[in-house]
Chain A
Amino acid sequence: MNPMDELTLTPSLTVTHDTIQLIAKSHRARRVLISRVVTALCLAALVISAVPLVLLLVQLVTRGASQLNTAFFTTLPQSPTIMSPNLTGGVSNAIIGTIALTVYASLMAIPVGVFAGVYLGESTSKFASVLRIVAQTMAGAPSILMGLFGFSFVVKFLHVGFSAIAGSFALAVLMLPVIAISTELSIRGVPNTLREAGLALGAKPHTISTKIVIPSALTGIVTGCMLAVARAVGETAPVLLTIGGGYINQWRPLNPVSALPLSIYINAKSEYPSERAQVWGIALVLVLFVFVVSLSARVWAARKQKRNS
């Protein structure tokens, strides 16, 4: 086709510039008004979402802070009675229990999760793609199911009974997919040019993986593990069905232990105002821990990323 034929402008027929401008003008005020109204509604939605969440945090801090003192962290709980309704003691058992549960769960979940994640990141096999879907589904599974698993498998099937190990097993199952997925993503984030550079230098595949890929993905891997820990620490449902609870300082794997979220769950329903008040202290400690861990993980990862780029 001759471009000369194609590139002719069609003359304006009935619709002129002025017609369009006229129509546009007649609608403009209404369109702008609608847009303003909807914008206002969106801002209102922002406020509506912020209000309950801000209220929650403010109440958590104001009610919780007054509960925190040395005795809170170092002494065992005591049961208030009608004679002494303000006798609550501390929550040392729950703190020790939560630390024990978290450490055991991390010991189980981190090695398996990280190496499974490395596999997911490095392998293109069929098994890897199935496992990826499994991991994503497991990561979203309700935590009560982890509790049911811990109960049915460790407490019942293995006859271990209610114990720290049963609870930490349930928490480990919760952490596993989270760690595996974040590790996989960090591994995939390592540029292929680095791998190629390694190959070009004649490095063996596993040397590339251990000496190049994993070190460069390390920040992401550690961040993922920290976020998994932050999530496990606050989970109530899995430990509710598995750890048994108890009012003594206990950390041995095969014994029943207590945990901070469990204390909240139980004491929130207490008939003594003093115990209900103390719950805010536990909640504050828990939220502070979760915030500090997730925030430092994020800040660290962001800073590292900035330095690398």
Chain B
Amino acid sequence: MDQNITEANSPEVLVATESRTPGSVAMSLRNVAVSFNGKTAVRDCTFDVESKKVTSLIGPSGSGKTTLLRALNRLHDLTPGAKVNGQILLEGTDIYRGDMTATELRTRVGMVFQRPNPFPTMSIYDNVISGLRFNGVKKKSMLDEIAERSLRDAALWESVESRLKVSAGNLSGGEQQRLCIARALALDPEVLLMDEPTSALDPIATLRIEELLVTLKQRVTIIIVTHNMQQASRISDDCAFLLMGEDRAGELIEFSTTQKIFNDPKDSRTLDYTLGRFG
């Protein structure tokens, strides 16, 4: 089913893709570890995220999935005492040690958060183009075009087309989350990070977001943290399974295709987890 959608849409989507071909490495993590005030929260993460695929980070609470995800667009820079070790490469460039600034990185690696967080003082339109405004895009025609494109890509255009100037607070939870997706897409990022984007939504809204993600991966590489095993198996191509070690720090147990993680894992702990024996 998922595969069908992808194939049905791929011809026209390919027009939009530049150099980013599916299968190449979008981000690669080499021995990534994150610590707060010297206390390690997650470590030993080494895997490659392939372009135009959905990679999920799964594991029980405390395994450091969200911590790892936030390292990928340097959100830990905001937390005093946080330190990221190892290498994170975005198309070959080390995002922490290269000449890339955090602001630049974040225009290339977008983020969607657990709770829908549209800017309450801005209209729907202003929310979508806020990232462009932050980055100095001022041309009205360009903003309008991207706003429409992003809202369409987030499957929200139909329902908000007539009320773009209305405050974003008036949307339902699911619509707000799609607005946040549109907001992140507006910058046309290479990678989209999603931190349990459906955990605050009802099942129907969740399903719609999941369908959306499967479509979106033709344009953007998606890395998603999820608690929900079914969700991970439904939408992702690859899976990273993390688990809390003995010193309460999360570590990568296994990285493989979703197919393998769920059907033929190498590590017995992965099997235990996917079968629901703990976590």
Contacts and interface: CB of A to CB of B under 8 A. Distances in A.
Interface of A: 3-4, 6-21, 23-28, 31-32
B135 A20 contact: yes
A12 B211 contact: no
A20 B132 contact: yes
Contact of A12 (B5, B15, B136, B208): B15
A24 B137 contact: yes
A15 to B, nearest CB: 5
Given A20-B132, A20-B188, A27-B136, A8 B9 contact: yes
A3 to B, nearest CB: 6
Contacts, number: 86
Given A10-B153, A12-B149, A17-B190, A28 B101 contact: yes
Contacts of B135: 20, 23-24, 27-28, 31
Contact of B137 (A8, A23, A32): A23
A24 B107 contact: yes
A7 B101 contact: no
A10 B101 contact: no
5 contacts: A9-B9, A11-B12, A11-B15, A20-B187, A23-B136
Nearest to B108: A21
B65 to A, nearest CB: 27
B184 to A, nearest CB: 13
A245 to B, nearest CB: 53
Contacts of A31: 103, 134-136
Contacts of A9: 9, 12-13, 16, 152-153, 215-216, 218-219
Given A17-B190, A18-B18, A26-B136, A7 B107 contact: no
Contacts of B136: 23-24, 26-28, 31
Contacts of A23: 135-137
Nearest to B17: A12
Contacts of B187: 20, 24
Contacts of B216: 9
Contact of A7 (B103, B146, B211): B211
B275 interface: no
A15 B18 CA distance: 12
B158 interface: yes
B145 A28 contact: no
B77 to A, nearest CB: 13
B212 interface: yes
Given A9-B219, A10-B149, A16-B188, 8 more contacts: A4-B5, A6-B155, A9-B216, A17-B190, A20-B187, A23-B137, A26-B136, A28-B104
B75 interface: no
Interface in B1-26: 5, 8-9, 12-13, 15-16, 18
B142 interface: yes
A28 B104 CA distance: 8
B104 A25 contact: yes
A1 to B, nearest CB: 8
Interface of A is mostly: helix
A12 B220 CA distance: 13
Given A9-B219, A20-B187, A32 B9 contact: no
Interface string B138-154: 00001001101100110
A8 B158 CA distance: 13
Contact of A32 (B5, B15, B101, B188): B101
B190 A11 contact: no
Contacts of A24: 104, 107, 135-137, 187
A16 B101 CA distance: 21
Contacts of A18: 18
Nearest to B141: A14
Closest 7 CB pairs of A and B: A27-B136, A24-B135, A12-B16, A17-B188, A11-B15, A7-B215, A11-B16
Nearest to B207: A3
Nearest to B137: A23
A20 B186 CA distance: 9
Interface string B190-225: 100000000000000000100110011011000000
Contacts of A14: 142, 145
Contacts of B212: 7
A11 B145 CA distance: 11
A15 B146 contact: yes
A27 B107 CA distance: 13
Nearest to B13: A9
B155 A7 contact: yes
Given A9-B215, A26-B136, A27-B136, A4 B145 contact: no
A32 B142 contact: no
A15 B212 CA distance: 22
Nearest to B187: A20
B146 to A, nearest CB: 6
A299 to B, nearest CB: 24
A23 B215 CA distance: 28
A24 B155 CA distance: 26
Contacts of A7: 5, 9, 155, 211-212, 215
Contacts of B8: 4
A21 B9 contact: no
B13 A11 contact: yes
A26 B190 CA distance: 19
Given A9-B216, A11-B15, A21 B149 contact: no
A17 B7 CA distance: 23
